[in-house]
Amino acid sequence: MNKPTVELVQFKLKDGIDEDALLTVTKENMEFVRKQSGYIRRELVKGPDGLWIDIVHWKSLSESQESEKKFYESSDCQNYSKIIDESSVKLTRMEQVLNFD
């Protein structure tokens, strides 16, 4: 049985790219994300030293994985490659155990 999954994408921006550029691209990308099967919600958080984490909640691991495949195939998502330092990207998927909403 597939359980709810939290996808964590940790990254840094390329040199010379500012926060406003990231926020613009992320907002533009939301139309694509909302259309994906199993999408629940998304958060973007900022940490120290230019670290960002994009947190996406999915109904299942398989839907998270399928969305990732579509992400790389979608022309709507290509602007991310222009602003994100690809060498800094770390993707982690974790099974939700408890939810206190």
pLDDT digits (tens, 9 = 90+) for 5-41: 999 999 999 999 999 999 999 999 999 999 999 999 9
**What integer pLDDT is reported at residue 81 of this predicted model?**
86
Find out whether 39 and 31 touch, Cβ atoms under 8 Å. no
Give pLDDT, residue 1: 60
Residue 55 resides in a domain:
yes
CB atoms within 10 A of CB 56: 22
CA dihedral 55, 56, 57, 63 (to 10 degrees): -140
Domain-embedded: residue 99:
no
- Residue 77 falls within a domain, yes or no? yes
What is the CATH number for 11? 3.30.70.100
- Look at residue 54 in the predicted model and tell me its pLDDT: 97
Structural domains counted in the chain: 1
Residue 84 inside a domain? The answer is: yes
pLDDT number for residue 82: 92
Beta carbons of 91 and 7 less than 8 angstroms apart: yes
Q: For residue range 67-84, list pLDDT tens digits in order.
A: 999 988 887 778 888 999
Name the residue range of residue 65's domain: 5-94
For the residues 90-97, what does the mean pLDDT come to?
Answer: 96
Rounded mean pLDDT of the chain?
93
User: What's residue 11's pLDDT?
Assistant: 97
Residue with the larger pLDDT of the pair 84 and 101: 84
